[in-house]
Amino acid sequence: MALFEEEPRKKKLVHEIGQDLSALSVGELEERIDLLRGEILRLEAEKAAKGATRNAADALFRR
């Protein structure tokens, strides 16, 4: 028994578009859905930020 045992690391959840889902449990599918929803929110936020930057640049150069 080691003096300092490392806690088991949780495997990072990765989803590949188009992968076979038949081996996943309902819980694992829910985790994937949550992961993808979070990623969609992140992408939409980045899109909005870039849109705001573009709008500011357009407004500046229209003067």
Domain with 51 in it: 26-63
Per the prediction, the chain carries an average pLDDT of: 87
Is the pTM higher than 0.85? The answer reads no
Per-residue pLDDT reduced to its tens digit, 25-51: 999 999 999 999 999 999 999 999 998
Per-residue pLDDT, 2: 61
Within-domain flag for 57: yes
* Token pair 């407004």: residue: 59
Inside any domain, residue 48: yes
Q: How far apart are CA 2 and CA 6, in angstroms?
A: 9
pLDDT at 30: 96
User: How distant, in Å, are the alpha carbons of 12, 29, 48, 52, 55 from that of 60?
Assistant: 44, 46, 18, 12, 9
Q: Evaluate whether residue 19 is within a structural domain.
A: no
Flag whether 36 is in a domain: yes
Mean pLDDT, residues 6-11 taken together: 75
**Does pLDDT of 1 surpass 60?**
no
Burial class of 17 by CB neighbour count within 10 A (0 to 12, 13 to 18, 19+): exposed
